[in-house]
Amino acid sequence: MPFKVLVTDKLDKEGIDLLKKYPELEVIEKETLKGDDLKKELKGYDAIIIRSDTKMTREVIEASDGLKVISRAGVGVDNVDVPAATEKGIVVMNAPLGNTISTAEYTFAMMISLARKIPFAHAVTKIEGKWDRKTFKGVELLGKTLGIVGLGRIGTEVGKRARAFGMRILGYDPYISDELAAQLGIELSSLEKIYKESDFITLHTPLTEQTKGMISKKEIEMMKKSVRIINCARGGIADEAALAEALQNGRVAGAAIDVFSKEPPFEPRNPLLDAPNCILNPHLGASTSEAQFNVAVESAEAVANFLIHGMIVNSVNMPSVSKELFARLKGFITLSEKMGSMISQCIEGQIKELRITCSGEIEEKDLSILTRAALKGLFNRFLGDTVNYVNSTSTAKSRGIKVVEEKDEAVGEYTNLITLAVKSDQEQMILGGTVYSNNQYKVVRFNDYFFEVDPQGTLIVISNEDKPGVIGKVGTIMGERKVNIASMQVSRKSSENKALILLNVDSVITTEIENLLSKVPEILKLKIVKL
Ligand code: NAD
Ligand code: MLT
């Protein structure tokens, strides 16, 4: 029986033809399907290839039977519930490379259109039939300052084009080294500097908890009145209501928007639809023949290789190893990723180095899968879905982050121990973890403190002065706010009169609770870690 592949959202013909060449695959093309229709149709399929219109929600994924892979022909997998797919053992793949140039060129087209008011002049000439040569005086790009937020694939390509136009380029990205930025002719700056000094600001980050609404009323207040904002990344990175208001009252000179927090943006009506000086397009950044060819071929090849040969590439939720080895290493892979994620949520400054040391009995000789998992965890907070097990090492390389792998055969207190030591430009952080024979994993070291903790759910990490009463104060705050403490571990460094408290809690930690904890005088540092 051939593997059944469902293709929705109009995948480029080249991708379909490639799939059809394999006798092992049966390819069925459908228009975009939604909700119950999608749930019904999905039954019996091994793979689905989608673009951004098909929403693979938890409900749809849970209702599927036998689905092995979801392939997203594009970068963002925000239309796929990745945790739900992971829980069901479904591989989620993306095609991160194919549409970079299209989107970078398109961003530039948006910037020039804004600077020269081209769409507005076009509308008046063609639609209103008026010959108006006074209203549409624009500005030149030469000598203007461009602020790029997010210096990944697309952001850096935009930077290269801006150089050719003689622009001064400021950039912000927590995972780019000064050296690399300098090579690109970009001055790494704080967000504040970008907001204050830029004539144009363009956004190229994924949509994450940190980036959602990162440009809102407060940030707009810092900007020049002549600023023009471009968002060809994901809707909602610039808060839509705040931006619409700023366009209405002239606080911002113009905006060009390709993406919306809800697409299409008509119901409920997006406030940007009624804002002046605002170019709005229906998510067209990747809409070129070249990009659609690239992502269709990238996705089709990945799906064929996975179904026919069991090979995993470009996965956002699985490492690229055979299924058998993955099952054996699962505990180590998950532990490495969780420790990477814990460090990224606790460390201050720009990451410079990751050293991963595997001691004792770890079956796999090639440790790269654990390094990839640790890096995926480390980057996930900033790169969101675009980092996967396959590209996490190259991502580190392209960002000038040194990665060192070490194997130490010696068996110490634990039969196996994975240690991650991460250096930033401000500090070093070390985490150690072990996997028991039942595949249970624990974090057993946090810098110079030793304990055994489950890296699951919400973890509160408290560094405090080792004085009587601190635990009581923390317990009282939690109790009064009805936060159930699942476990509490305390480790002390008596030489320095310091201690570390790790709390696993069942509920969400609100900003109010965080503020109350921060006010406890003996608490030196506090981090809320979500795993
Ligand atoms: P990328 O992963 O190569 O780059 C994203 C960059 O954002 C990374 O360098 C990351 O370090 C940085 N970043 C993350 N959090 C940040 C933060 N808080 N502040 C500053 N920088 C931060 O991704 P890419 O391929 O360049 O894609 C960028 C965005 O464009 C994504 O959201 C993607 O989904 C979107 N996209 C849109 C279209 C479109 O049609 N409009 C097409 C392709 C990609
Ligand atoms: C992407 O994430 O790749 C883009 O949004 C382009 C798209 O698929 O439409």
Does the Cβ of 52 fall within 6 Å of ligand 2?
A: yes
The predicted pLDDT at position 377 comes to: 94
Element containing residue 75 per DSSP (H, E):
none
Cα 336 from chain centroid (whole Å): 18
SS (H, E, C) 317-348: CCCCCCHHHHHHHHHHHHHHHHHHHHHHHHCC
CATH class for the region spanning 3-96+290-309: alpha beta
- Computed over every residue of the chain, the mean pLDDT equals 92
174 lines ligand 2 (CB under 6 A): no
**Ligand 2 atom having least distance to the Cα of 74:** 3
For residue 298, pLDDT over 70 is answered with: yes
Long-range CB pairs of 207-212, under 8 A, 24+ apart, other chains included = 207/76, 207/78, 207/233, 207/234, 207/235, 207/236, 207/237, 207/384, 208/381, 208/382, 208/384, 210/381, 210/382, 211/150, 211/237, 212/236, 212/237
Is 161 annotated in the active site? no
Which of 51, 284, 294 to mutate for ligand 2's pocket (most ligand atoms within 8 Å of CB)?
A: 51
pLDDT at 176: 86
Indicate which ligand has the atom closest to the C-alpha of 232. Answer: 1
Domain pair 3-96+290-309 / 100-280, same fold: yes
- Is the minimum distance from the CB of 204 to ligand 2 under 6 angstroms? no
Residue with tokens 């799906």: 303
Cα(76) to centroid(ligand 2), Å = 6
pLDDT tens for 392-441 read 887 898 889 999 999 887 767 888 999 999 999 999 999 999 999 878 99
Query: Where does the pLDDT of residue 383 fall: very low under 50, low under 70, confident under 90, or very high at 90 and above?
Result: confident
Question: Can you give the pLDDT at residue 367?
Answer: 76
Q: pLDDT class for 47, splitting at 50, 70, 90?
A: very high
For the chain, percent of residues with pLDDT exceeding 90? 77
Q: Does residue 286 line the site of ligand 2, with CB under 6 A?
A: yes
Residue 365 has pLDDT above 80, yes or no: no
The size of the chain, in residues, is 531
- The band of 382, judged by pLDDT with boundaries at 50, 70 and 90, is confident
| pLDDT (mean) for 148-166 | 97
Q: Which atom of ligand 2 is nearest to the CA of 283?
A: 9
SS3 97: coil
312 touches 318 (CB < 8 A): yes
pLDDT at 361: 78
Catalytic residue among 187, 263, 353, 405: 263
pLDDT grade, residue 291 (50/70/90)? very high
Does 521 sit behind a cis peptide bond, omega within 30 degrees of 0 on the bond before it?
no
Q: Where residue 493 falls among pLDDT bands split at 50, 70, 90?
A: confident
Q: Which atom of ligand 1 is nearest to the CA of 149?
A: 20
Residue 34 pLDDT > 80, yes or no?
Answer: yes
Specify the residue with its C-alpha closest to ligand 1, atom 36.
233
Ligand 1 atom with least separation from CA of 258: 41
Instruction: Give the highest mean pLDDT range of 175-179, 208-212, 386-390.
Output: 208-212
Q: How far is the CA of 480 from the centre of ligand 1 (A)?
A: 41
Distance between Cα 526 and ligand 1 center (Å):
29
Does ligand 2 come within 6 angstroms of the Cβ of 340? no
What's 2's DSSP letter? P
Locate 392 and state its tokens.
């996490």
| pLDDT tens digits, 89-138 | 789 999 999 999 999 999 999 999 999 999 999 999 999 999 999 999 99
Of residues 204, 283, 372, 445, which has the active-site annotation?
283
Give residue 245's pLDDT band: very low, low, confident or very high (50, 70, 90): very high
Ligand 1 first shell, C-beta below 6 A: 75-76, 99-100, 103, 149-155, 172-175, 204-206, 208, 210-211, 232-234, 258-259, 283, 285-286, 382-383, 386
263 included as an active-site residue: yes
309 noted as active-site residue? no
Helix (H) or strand (E) holding 272: none
Rounded to the nearest 5°, which phi and psi values hold at 480? -65, -30
pLDDT, residue 418, reads: 94
Q: What is the pLDDT of residue 346?
A: 95
DSSP output for 239-270? -HHHHHHHHHTTSSSEEEE---SSSS-TTTTP
What are the domain boundaries of the chain?
3-96+290-309, 100-280, 320-447, 453-531
Task: Give the per-residue SS3 of 465-478.
Answer: ECCCCHHHHHHHHH
Give the torsion sign (CA, 275, 276, 277, 280).
Answer: positive
Among the atoms of ligand 2, which is closest to the Cα of residue 234?
5
Instruction: Tell me how far the alpha carbon of residue 392 lies from the centroid of ligand 2, in angstroms.
Output: 20
Token pair of 470 as six digits: 């601190």
Q: How remote is the CA of residue 250 from the centroid of ligand 1, in Å? A: 28
Compute the distance between CA of residue 129 and CA of residue 255 in angstroms, rounded to an integer: 25
- Residue 198 pLDDT grade (very low, low, confident, very high; cuts 50, 70, 90): very high
Rounded to whole angstroms, how far apart are CA atoms 498 and 449?
Answer: 10
Question: Could you tell me the distance, in angstroms and rounded to a whole number, from the CA of residue 362 to the centre of ligand 2?
Answer: 39
Closest ligand to Cα 109: 1
**pLDDT higher than threshold 70 for residue 12:** yes
| 99 ligand 2 Cβ < 6 A | yes
**DSSP assignment string, 449-518:** EEEEE---SEEEEEEEE--TTHHHHHHHHHHHTTPPEEEEEEEEEGGGTEEEEEEEESS---HHHHHHHH
- Helix, strand, coil: what percent of the chain each, to 5? 35, 25, 40
292 and 315 Cβ atoms separated by less than 8 Å: no
List of residues 6+ apart from 421 with CB closer than 8 A: 353, 354, 355, 357, 428, 429, 430
- The CATH number of domain 453-531, selected from 3.30.70.260, 2.40.50.140, 2.60.40.1180, 3.50.50.60: 3.30.70.260
* Residue 205 CA to ligand 1 centre (angstroms): 3
Which of the pair, 304 or 366, is modelled with greater confidence? 304
Is it true that domain 100-280 has CATH number 3.40.50.720? yes
Is the domain spanning 320-447 CATH 3.30.1330.90? The answer is yes
Closest ligand 1 atom to residue 287 Cα is 40
Task: Collapse the DSSP code of 307 into the 3-class scheme (helix H, G, I; strand E, B; otherwise coil) and give the result.
Answer: helix
